[in-house]
Amino acid sequence: MTDRDAVAQLLGRDPIGHFCVARRRADGQPMVIANDPLLLDGTPMPTRYWLVDPVIRSRIGLLESEGGVKDAERAVDAEALAAAHVRYAAERDALVPAGWQGPRPSGGVGGTRRGVKCIHAHVAWWLVGGEDPVGDWAAVRIGLTRP
């Protein structure tokens, strides 16, 4: 099975842009994908890192359903979070092709400019080594460690 096939199966749909697998589970299956900043039709893709691991997605979904987004916003230092959004956006935006004249992705982690929109996006970036205080916070709550 190709990575594209595996990711389509994990997403429940065909991917609509180019990506690479940024982190794999121990069994080799994709855990996190890194999206290009533009979809195949040129639409901006603000979310660079996308969590595709079903077990971790489920754990984060439960955390979010229990008020995790608001809890994370209260618990995490606002300046550290703002700096993480800036770093994430800079990493993603550096991949926009030189001379691109169309719409560009905006926002930081998960496309948001401030605060927490999606813990999944923060954890995805954290899993591939991103310095993300929400990823740190969530990892403790759902029992994740980085290699």
Q: Could you tell me if residue 100 is inside a domain?
A: yes
Q: Name the residue range of residue 82's domain.
A: 3-142
Task: For residues 103 and 29, give the distance between their C-alpha atoms in angstroms, rounded to a whole number.
Answer: 33
Q: Could you tell me if residue 118 is inside a domain?
A: yes
pLDDT for res 113: 85
pLDDT for res 35: 97
Task: For residues 12 and 43, give the distance between their C-alpha atoms in angstroms, rounded to a whole number.
Answer: 21
Find the helix packing angle between 78-93 and 133-142, rounded to 10°: 110
**φ, ψ of residue 5 in degrees (nearest 5):** -65, -45
Number of domains in the chain: 1
Per-residue pLDDT tens listing for the chain (147 residues)? 899 999 999 999 999 999 999 999 999 999 999 999 999 999 999 999 999 999 999 999 999 999 999 999 999 999 999 999 999 999 999 999 999 999 999 999 989 988 999 999 999 999 999 999 999 999 999 999 887
pLDDT for res 145: 87
Sign of CA dihedral 122, 5, 30, 61: positive
Q: Could you tell me if residue 147 is inside a domain?
A: no
Please give the structure tokens belonging to residue 4: 């594209």
